[in-house]
Amino acid sequence: MVAIHAEPSTSTTTHKKNRRKISKKNLKPAEPGQAREGDEDMHEEPISSEVAEAAQAAVLEEDNGNADDDELMIDSDPSSLPAQNAAPSFPPLPASAQRSTLKSETRRIPIPPHRMTPLKKDWVNIFGPLTEILGLQVRMNVQRKAVEIRTSKHTKEVGALQKGADFVKSFALGFDVNDAIALLRLDDLYLDSFEIKDVKTLHGDHLSRAIGRIAGQDGKTKFTIENASRTRIVLADTYVSHFLPLYYLAANLLPSSSKIHILGSFQNIKIARDAIVSLILGSPPGKVYAGLRTVSSRMRQRAL
């Protein structure tokens, strides 16, 4: 067996050495007045001493200006500086600018037929607060069975029209004028309405017994709930008897819609509604009275 020993070629090594020599030549510092190889394109004329002095003076002035700005920023009082993220402050608009003077707004509140007679009887007590307190214009439309109110130049508040509509609507639902007028004087009073069938579906005698449990003997239960929760309650039982055959009347199959309206603050309405729902579901009045006594005692402690 013959082994052949191959020596590395000298051509590759000499080529690498020549490349290193060429790179070293290019990196040698050029003598004064002589440019380096490969710098023919970058050759520039020598800078005069006057231009160099002017450039150095400009750099010094810029550094001095930056130093002066830093001193001013350090010496200044931070409280005197304007806030960067402060919201702009604008004076409040007067009441005359908030309302629309171009067109007056009108609202029509329908009145049920059985409330037209009380409306005519207490009309003086109804339109008086609307005109004096809210500055609205009011009229009774007998043909349409509605009360129409609209704003005028004497209207002071933006929500006066809505307050007046709530006042007339509460009277149309069956509340007394002295109770409904509280809607004009207080801002945290609301009206809440619901039907007995929303709580439990009842028909016939079962519905009548539920209404009797809510009202109580001579209205005793209703008055107790009103006094304990500081609200006013109206039980509206409307029997629809128009355009029905006579055999419906004989068989006592009239459809009825029993509604309950509550006037008061948000928390007081919740207390009264919970008591009424318990009576509808069949709770005895004595148990409801005990719960109302507990709630009323807690309300007195919070008031103190």
Separation of CA 4 from chain center:
96
Helices and strands (H and E) in the chain: how many: 14, 6
Position 72 scores a pLDDT of: 47
Closest CA to 226 of 299, 300, 292: 292
State how far the alpha carbon of 208 is from the alpha carbons of 76, 195, 196, 280, in Å: 82, 13, 11, 10
Position 260 scores a pLDDT of: 92
Exposed, middle or buried: residue 260 (CB in 10 Å: 0-12, 13-18, 19+)? buried
Contact at 8 Å (CB) between 172 and 108? no
State how far the alpha carbon of 95 is from the alpha carbons of 105, 125, 159, 277, in Å: 16, 27, 11, 43
- Both tokens assigned to 57: 């003076």
Alpha-carbon gap, residue 170 to 193, rounded angstroms = 11
Q: pTM of this prediction?
A: 0.60
Position 62 scores a pLDDT of: 63
Alpha-carbon gap, residue 214 to 235, rounded angstroms = 9
**Which stretches of the chain drop beneath a pLDDT of 70?**
1-51, 59-85, 95-102, 237-257, 304
Query: What single-letter amino acid sits at 194?
Result: F
- Both tokens assigned to 219: 């209205």
Q: Residues 272-296, buried b or exposed e (16+ Cβ, 10 A)?
A: bbebbbbbbeeeebeebbeebeebe
